[in-house]
Amino acid sequence: MTKRRALPAAVFVLLLATFLRFHLLEAQSFWNDEGNSARLSERSLPAILEGTASDVHPPLYYVLLRGWRELAGETEFGLRSLSAYAGVLTVAMVMALGGRGAGGQGSRGAGERGGPLNSSFVIRHSSFALAGLLAAVSPVLVYYSQETRMYALLALLAGLSAWVLLVWLGGARPGWRWAVAYVLLLAAGLYTHYFFPAVIAAQGVVAALWWLRPEWVTGRAVADGRARRLVTWLGLAAAAIALYLPWLPIFIRQIGGREGAPVALADFAAESARWLVLGSTVAAGEASWAMMAAAGLLLLGLVVGGRRSAVSLLLAVIPLALMFLVGATDPAFFKFMLVVVPFMLVLMGLAWRARRPWNVVPAGLIVAVLAGSLLSLGHLYGDPAFARADYRGMAARIAAAAHPNAGIILVAPNQWEAFTYYHRDGAPVYPLPRGRPDPAVVEPELAAIAAAHDRLYVLFWGAEQRDPQGIIAHWLDGHAFKASEEWVGDVRFVVYGLLGEPPAAPTPSGATFAGLDGETITLHEFNVWPAAAQAGDVVGARLLWSADATPRRAYKVFLHLLDETGQVVAQRDGEPGGGARPTTGWMAGELVTDNHGLLLPPDLPPGDYTLRLGLYDALDPTRRLATGDGDGLTLGTMTVR
């Protein structure tokens, strides 16, 4: 590719990368980790250093974000734009790396007049543009370029430090400026993420390969001085570590204890490959053809690239191997693999070196990979199923309800930063549990919170880790009335009414429901209060059930509020006990107390309404249980003022 064609190709790729990274940048809410970044960057520099000393990430990104917010503001767009710009620079770096892989060192070395930026490797072959195009549309690179976290910066530093290393190794007389730049980039990587030592280890193997086979790394043979250059690299790495010494004790304290459950190598390879190619915004099993095409491109790049592929292969495989060896195989750690993505894309770009007419094969594979990437990006931009948890929307809904005596519980507490980014005043926020969940500590806290409020909004996130016994959910289901429940991303958003004790004795019933497997379920008594309410209030129903035999299937309870024409104007469906007492766990003759809340719509007109109750198969809502002459039981009427 000539210079005249190379420049427009590079400009097009960078414009595309910029568009994709800034497109709908502010559309989604901050999720909890982004909220942590946003709130931490509000602090002074000493406070940031103090905070990150106990955080799971080192401080450099937060320090940069602290300065960036002064320039770009504290909106989602402003704070995320730091990652977006880092993402665009990463695409440029992939093109530079792809140029080296495609064309060798070029006519001039790093220590010669003109420097590496004037060497011919950038324009020797169009594979550099292909690598850049794949980087521009890479789902994982775009995703993390739209997140207020350090991962886009991590990918940039991994690629940039590798490029500087190759320039330094390829120079006939390696200049000290490149050596200093390399040391600073390594130190910056160490201060950005605790996984960066894996990048340094991979680059050390590249330096050792240069000592053994310099032509495999820089495209030209070197007769003398190789051992001295390798020793110098060790000195540069040591200098970077010396700059990191103030943080080294914190690194040692932080690196242990986060490995995931044991995973077979084949499973890790398959899952990580899918993530690297398509990201996390495609459903399992979707776009398998894109995976096959990516595998074909990688294989073809290795074959066609020959020894030119060795550097990218090492820089991609070694961090992956280290992830597996240290047990960082859970999908939550896959974002560490952003340090691998630039080199994987360079390998794919090498496939375009296939000679005519065989280059029709990589052309077809490229189209398939690009189609898979665009499919994933379409999900990222427009499919709510793949959206981040909408803390902005949840905070707005709570504010719009404007309940005069509401409280908010966050389970787990590390949602606090993201939620309070949007919820700055109004209802008090209670992060629970504080430390290890202990019923003797948590339940009195819940009782005190419940006594102070008439309504609770509860955000459950990662409860299986922070409250594995379900202490908070079980207490609330037994002492409050669950009025609504929905998933907002990976957050379970629940509204509870706190109604105190009923003002009257329960109403005897004795109504029986014919179970679908021959059992009989009896409603012994019920209590519904308040009898008069306002639109937007929660009405509670306390039910007392039993079954003559343990049901073999789960049933759900429905509460319907009907207007004078028989139309349903409010509805609540749920398993008994808020899901904690499914009917499949009832013992024969056991009495089961069951609380349900019905949230009245805020625009419900005043008038008299009828409340009906029934049961249905949890797996098939059309199969209702018969009772009396129908499939529902009238509990009474209530008035909306």
Cα within 13 Å of Cα(105), Cβ side: 24
444/453 Cα distance (integer angstroms): 15
587/635 Cα distance (integer angstroms): 25
Q: Give this prediction's pTM.
A: 0.89
Q: Which residue, 151, 150, 215, 154, is CA-closest to 185?
A: 154
Q: Which residue, 143, 17, 124, 129, is CA-closest to 80?
A: 143
The pLDDT value given to residue 121: 35
58/52 Cα distance (integer angstroms): 6
4/197 Cα distance (integer angstroms): 40
CB neighbourhood size of 486 (10 A): 10
Are the C-beta atoms of residues 506 and 535 closer than 8 Å to each other?
no
Phi, psi of 224 (to 5 degrees): -125, 160
Are the C-beta atoms of residues 539 and 638 closer than 8 Å to each other?
yes
Give the CA-trace dihedral at 443, 448, 451, 455, to 10 degrees.
-70
> With a cut of 50, which residues of the chain have pLDDT below it?
102-124
CB neighbourhood size of 509 (10 A): 16
480/475 Cα distance (integer angstroms): 8
**What mean pLDDT is reported for the chain?**
92
**Residue 280 DSSP one-character state:** T
65/59 Cα distance (integer angstroms): 10
Q: Which fold has domain 507-640?
A: Immunoglobulin-like (2.60.40)
**What's the token pair of residue 615?**
């049961």
One-letter amino acid of 196: F
Q: Which residue, 565, 564, 562, is CA-closest to 614?
A: 562
pLDDT digits (tens, 9 = 90+) for 584-627: 999 999 999 999 999 999 999 999 999 999 999 999 999 999 99
* Cα three-residue angle 494-499-503, rounded to 5 degrees: 155
**Residue 75 DSSP one-character state:** S
Domain boundaries, the chain: 3-386, 391-497, 507-640
Residues in the chain, total: 641
Three-class SS of 218-264: HCCCCCCCHHHHHHHHHHHHHHHHHHHHHHHHHHHHHCCCCCCCCCC
Are the C-beta atoms of residues 329 and 268 closer than 8 Å to each other?
yes
Which residues lie below 8 Å from residue 437, measured CB to CB, with a gap of 6+?
A: 466, 467, 468, 469, 471, 472
79/70 Cα distance (integer angstroms): 10
Three-class SS of 22-63: HCCCCCCCCCHHHHHHHHHCCCCHHHHHHHHCCCCCCCHHHH
Are the C-beta atoms of residues 623 and 616 closer than 8 Å to each other?
yes
Give, to the nearest 10 degrees, the angle between helix 151-170 and helix 196-212: 20
Are the C-beta atoms of residues 192 and 60 closer than 8 Å to each other?
yes
**Residue 625 DSSP one-character state:** P
Cis amide leading into 412 (omega within 30): yes
CB neighbourhood size of 526 (10 A): 22
Q: Which residue, 129, 112, 190, 125, is CA-closest to 157?
A: 190
Which element (helix H / strand E) includes 481?
strand 481-488
| C-alpha 65, offset from chain centre | 20
Are the C-beta atoms of residues 80 and 149 closer than 8 Å to each other?
no
Which residues lie below 8 Å from residue 624, measured CB to CB, with a gap of 6+?
A: 614, 615, 616, 631, 632
Which residues lie below 8 Å from residue 274, measured CB to CB, with a gap of 6+?
A: 291
The pLDDT value given to residue 451: 97
The pLDDT value given to residue 115: 41
DSSP 540-572: EEEEEEEESS--SS-EEEEEEEE-TTS-EEEEE
Helices (H) and strands (E) in the chain, counts: 23, 15
The pLDDT value given to residue 126: 74
CATH class of the structural domain 391-497: alpha beta
Are the C-beta atoms of residues 193 and 57 closer than 8 Å to each other?
yes
- Does the CA dihedral 355-360-365-366 come out positive or negative? positive
The pLDDT value given to residue 112: 40
